[in-house]
Amino acid sequence: MSAQQAMDAFLSRHVQQGPAGCGCAVAQNGEILYEGYYGYANLEQKTPITADTIYRQFSSTKVVICTAAMMLYERGKFLLNDPIYAYFPEWRNTQVAEEQPDGTYLIRPVKRPIQVRDCFTMSMGIGYGGEDYTHRMMQQVRDELSATVGDYTLRDDIRAMAQVPVRFDPGSRWLYGFGHELVAGMIEAASGMKVSEFLQKEIFEPLGMTSTGYRYFGDTRQRMVTPYLRHEDGRMEPTTGMFDARHEPEAKYEAGGAGLFSTVRDYLAFSQMLACGGVYRGQRLIGRKTIDLMRQNHLSDRQLQDFTNSYLDGYGYGLGVRTLMDPGRVANTSVGEFGWTGYMGTYVAIDPSERASVVYMHNLIPNMEEYTHHRVRNIAFGMLK
């Protein structure tokens, strides 16, 4: 059995026991080695998954955002050790909420300012939620912002969140969350454009990504896959994406951590550009050495303790991407293979050493990421020439 046949067999079985439908493509050096679509975009209407099916990217948005920001980095717009208050003045006096042995919190100044690097590496101290002081205040601030402003912008959010004490001193720990909202804000501050405008001009148009964006356009609404909640008994219940309201044409917020939608083919073009040293069809979008900087591990041993779990075994974390440090433990890819994952099951793995990449997409809760992605990765990289 060839690797392509193995992928067909795996995906055809997978839609019987996992997502309603899925798509996957593998490419090397600009050549598509595999492309397959299985199951349904909508079970009730029996709408098949095709190459035109659009998926919510959730955190797969992060790879695009961090790449865009690093394009500005290599144009001299910022340095990684710049304090973020140089771009967002309201963050000059950041505080930290230090939990005490008795469960109370000491609010004190941070030992050093949050740097741009801390935002890329998720080391700035605000996560996505929780019951600690920082995240209770985060929710309170956003509730107040919604009540006073309504549908607020990314810049509104960044300004308001500056009053929230972080959970730890910047650069000392790793916590998945708000950092990439600040990276997206850096794109706006450094380029003078909205995030969507910069992405469209500098990435989507050059790569021919005609089905990718934050907000619905053309027939993108009709091509969006229906997300499902899979119950333990196998029953599939249609649900909604938590950020679906932000896809509406009148929506304002353009997030760094989530929010894009895309197709397998669009995202494959993006991944191949990164796999091939920043060049796509003869056009350079970003420098090879800048990609190398993104995909090296930037975490300390202490931070890696916060980062590592069974899904990420063998990986470290770079500038917004997981990066393979020890392939002998887990993967048939190379040191420095990198990418990320989305909340509802999207996945990208990029191996510049082989000029290869794999993109897989479904929209399902629970996302089955560890079962699905590792198998897809292993089969895909068995196809390489």
Q: Tell me: the pLDDT tens digits for 31-90?
A: 999 999 999 999 999 999 999 999 999 999 999 999 999 999 999 999 999 999 999 999
Domain ranges of the chain: 3-58+211-381, 84-191
If pLDDT is split at 50, 70 and 90, which confidence band does 2 have?
A: very high
User: In the prediction, which pLDDT does 320 show?
Assistant: 98
pTM, whole model, 2 decimals?
A: 0.97
Average pLDDT value for residue range 202-223: 98
If pLDDT is split at 50, 70 and 90, which confidence band does 330 have?
A: confident
Q: Tell me: the pLDDT tens digits for 80-95?
A: 999 999 999 999 999 9
CA angle 282, 283, 284 (to 5 degrees): 120
pLDDT at 329 over 90: no
If pLDDT is split at 50, 70 and 90, which confidence band does 328 have?
A: confident
Q: Tell me: the pLDDT tens digits for 255-278?
A: 999 999 999 999 999 999 999 999
pLDDT at 1 over 90: no
User: In the prediction, which pLDDT does 259 show?
Assistant: 97
pLDDT at 353 over 90: yes
Is 70 in contact with 290 (CB distance < 8 Å)?
Answer: yes
Second-level CATH architecture of 3-58+211-381:
3-Layer(aba) Sandwich (3.40)
User: In the prediction, which pLDDT does 122 show?
Assistant: 98
User: In the prediction, which pLDDT does 70 show?
Assistant: 98
> What is the Cα Rg of the chain in Å?
20
| Dist. CA 254–CA 38, nearest whole Å | 31
Q: Tell me: the pLDDT tens digits for 371-384?
A: 999 999 999 999 99
Q: Tell me: the pLDDT tens digits for 121-156?
A: 999 999 998 999 999 999 999 999 999 999 999 999
pLDDT at 290 over 90: yes
- Mean pLDDT across the chain: 97
Average pLDDT value for residue range 91-109: 95
User: In the prediction, which pLDDT does 181 show?
Assistant: 98
